[in-house]
Amino acid sequence: MKDDSQPADYRWVGKRLDRPDGADKVTGRARFGADIHLPGELVGKCLLSPHPHARILRIDTGKARALPGVKAVVTGADFPVLEDRPTPVADYAFNLWDQARTLMARDKVLFDGHPVAAVAATTEDVAQQALALIEVAYEILPHVTDLEAAMAPDAPLLHETMITTGVAPGPAAPSNIVARTMLERGNIDAGFEAADIVVEREFRSKPVHQGYIEPHACIASVAEDGRAELWTCTQGPWIDRAFCAGILGWEMSDLKVVATEIGGGFGGKLTVYDEPIALRLSQLTRKPVRMVMTRSEVLRRTGPTSGSLYRVRLGAKSDGTLVAADCEMILETGAFPGSPLGTARAIAFTHLDIPNLRLSSAEVVSNRPSVQAYRAPGGPITCYAQESVMDEMAEKLGISPFALIRKNAVREGTVSLAGFPLENLGLAQVLDAAEALEHLKTPLGPTQGRGIATSYWKNGGGQTSVSAILNEDGTVNVGIGTPDIGGLRASVSMMVAETMGVPYDKVTTTIADTSQLGFNSFTAGSRTAYAVGLAVVGASKDLIAQVCERAAKMWDLPPEAVDYADGMLRPAGPNAGAHDPVPLATIAAGFAKSGGPIMGKFTTDGPGAGPNFATHIADVEVDPETGGVTVLRYSIVVDVGRAIHPDYVEGQNQGGAAQGIGWALNEEYVYGADGRLQNTGFLDYRMPVAPDLPMIGCTLVEVPNPNHPFGVRGVGEVSIVPSVAAVANAVKDATGLRFFEIPMSPPRVLARIAGARAAKDPSLKPAFR
């Protein structure tokens, strides 16, 4: 669906081209984190705590060190003690001490799987034997893994001195509540007093893992003089460098981080786990140390996203005007602070114009691994609560969910309560396209239901630097600092080819290491095609300006008297004199005599990313006998600004929806009463497989972003935001029962149906009675 007001006569942008790294990835040639080997490498392994909460009294590594083949053993004592405060890293601030203690426990272990020591040995077998020889004396402490139990006044404390921030006056006693925040506009009490209909509900969700198929893997090599190299599967090599250098107390120029190919991240590979440990072990042994996590380690040690408790109240006039909304978000953050409250707050009710709105939040630590970002952090659970209540409100008003949104849609040019500008909005176009879908006309059976959810995502820009080299044969090499997780090289090469007017296959995009470019933020936050796009278009224009200068010199003209288009240089007008057009390749070949090598660059802080919206529609069938929910049909409608490579834009959206379906129906961390994670493999942590899903329709609405040369908006994260809610609303439509807790796994669905049947609940649909 094209916006006719925008020119779209692009030669490369918008085409479905083969990705340049495709052949490497279908033939096994691509090198991922665990595929990098160095001569003389050692195997590093961590010893994990079996206890969710315990004081470390003593660690005896003597027997392990004595084992032939063991070259080094480290514990928390081998790493610096850092200041307990946020360290600024570009646009971010990270508490490196929290991360240092997440990757290696110091005085206490705070979750099942918390590393307490690590070994470097000649083989995997020796490393495993050495781990078994490390003796750790623990004083076992009471633990708490449940969000609400962790908030109780008598809960075991993870951090004995932690006082809740954000409340005045501050509490006198420590607790597991890290912080509380509150944003409000209008008058919430007056708003609800004016409402004719009020819906008030609570929603609960469990932590889920990003579920990238590639476990974390890295290999570190530290030279005798202290200079170090690190290969790792990361979403952000510069930020990895900042973490490693900060945690180890090294200078950044001494550490080169090389991003390998990355087997999925979804936010889970924004931080470091084994990287500083491998560097320290390599420093001690003066040999390369390779560390690869097992799947069980990934699930026990690395970041899931937050479990949550939401309390939502929504008030409307009987004509459908929303007058007040109150949303309390309580997120668990695992062992250390860092839950996605900021982004959760940014999306809550943001696509709606509600005069009286209150968003309050709390963050709670418990004996679980520290949470990490997961695709649209906090978005899906916020949207689940918000769109469940919106669905119920539409039902009470007797109007469609679309009509309720349209009546209350956020207005162009306003600013969200969380402070994000709402400009150049494509919400109406998304709703138009969604309401026009054939999907909505498909009839449903007696055990089937349809759910609709719409949401917003703010998208990101951020720090970016790139290079562009004009080779002597006229081809172009582009260097970017953001790992390619899902077709980035293709879209970058397409944007450069379009700007330079050269063929797509004459542009090669390479992921640079941290010694080759200025700072680059992550491949994350729906920022990459946007901000890297801005940067590579800028670098392409830098190259064009330089070749114009070279031609001007040749023709003895001022540079502005030279025109560049489609790979040809021409005098700008009749006054510039008669010169035959010169191809780019001729200027490229003559570089040595025209002023030296031709190399462009561009750096940006990536302003103007702007928001977008998506509507998801799910059809489900609920089995009355098993409680199993099958997704029959699924449609996505999303404003993408401009799809550089439509296949990969669709793919991002389809993948996000699939993750949301897993989140809604099956995925959850299961902890036993002993505080240990019970589902530490893909058999029990069950993510969607191919037979679980239908084909996933994806309609790309293109309302161009005026701040980007091609109109790009972020797409990676909006893709997952409405998914959980769409499925939950569909299960409600099928059964008549609204589910206030996810996942809606078969036992939970079956129990709910049985309860409603026993209670003769009139809302239960006939097919389930």
Partner 1 sequence: MPKIHVTTTVNGGETEFLCEAHHTLLSVLRDTLGLTGTKEGCGSGDCGACSVNMNGRVVCACLVLAPEAEGATIETVEGLAGEAGMHPVQRAFIETAALQCGFCTPGFMVAAKDLLARNPDPSETEIRYWLAGNLCRCTGYDKIVRAVQKAAREPGRHART
Q: Where along the sequence are the contacts to partner 1 (CB under 8 A)?
A: 16, 18-19, 21-32, 34-35, 37, 124-125, 210-215, 261-266, 292, 294-295, 485-487, 645, 647-648, 650-652, 654-659, 681-683, 687-691, 693, 695-696
Q: Do the Cβ atoms of 524 and 373 come closer than 8 Å? A: yes
How many whole angstroms separate alpha carbon 379 and alpha carbon 387?
Answer: 11
How many whole angstroms separate alpha carbon 548 and alpha carbon 6?
Answer: 28
Q: How far is the CB of 116 from partner 1 (least distance, A)?
A: 22
Residues 6+ apart with CB under 8 A from 319: none
Q: Tokens for 601?
A: 């660059």
C-beta closer to partner 1: residue 168 or 683 = 683
Q: How far is the CB of 186 from partner 1 (least distance, A)?
A: 40
C-beta closer to partner 1: residue 295 or 570 = 295
C-beta closer to partner 1: residue 212 or 613 = 212
How many whole angstroms separate alpha carbon 297 and alpha carbon 214?
Answer: 12
Q: How far is the CB of 60 from partner 1 (least distance, A)?
A: 27
C-beta closer to partner 1: residue 402 or 682 = 682
Q: Do the Cβ atoms of 314 and 322 come closer than 8 Å? A: yes
C-beta closer to partner 1: residue 606 or 688 = 688
C-beta closer to partner 1: residue 321 or 528 = 528
How many whole angstroms separate alpha carbon 716 and alpha carbon 527?
Answer: 8
Torsion angle of alpha carbons 384, 389, 390, 391, nearest 10°? 90
Q: How far is the CB of 495 from partner 1 (least distance, A)?
A: 17
Q: How far is the CB of 441 from partner 1 (least distance, A)?
A: 21
Q: Tokens for 195?
A: 């409402």
C-beta closer to partner 1: residue 43 or 244 = 43
Q: What's the one-letter identity of residue 331? A: L
Q: Tokens for 456?
A: 């917003």
Q: How far is the CB of 36 from partner 1 (least distance, A)?
A: 9
- The answer to whether the peptide bond before residue 691 is cis (omega within 30 degrees of 0) is no
Residues 6+ apart with CB under 8 A from 523: 235, 236, 262, 265, 482, 483, 484, 485, 488
> Would you mind telling me the total number of residues written for the chain in this entry?
769
C-beta closer to partner 1: residue 271 or 652 = 652
How many whole angstroms separate alpha carbon 436 and alpha carbon 635?
Answer: 12
Which residue, 307, 303, 247, is CA-closest to 280? 247
C-beta closer to partner 1: residue 124 or 412 = 124
Q: How far is the CB of 485 from partner 1 (least distance, A)?
A: 5
Q: How far is the CB of 656 from partner 1 (least distance, A)?
A: 8
Query: For 576-642, where are the E strands, in sequence order?
Result: 582-583, 598-604, 612-622, 629-639
Whether the CA torsion 742, 743, 748, 752 is positive or negative: it is positive
Q: How far apart are the first and last CA of the chain?
A: 44
C-beta closer to partner 1: residue 600 or 722 = 722
Q: How far is the CB of 596 from partner 1 (least distance, A)?
A: 38
Q: What's the one-letter identity of residue 557? A: L
Pairing of strands 228-232, 255-259: parallel
Q: How far is the CB of 90 from partner 1 (least distance, A)?
A: 24
User: DSSP states of 17-64 as a string?
Assistant: PPPTTHHHHHHT-S-BGGG---TT-EEEEEEE-SSSSEEEEEEE-HHH
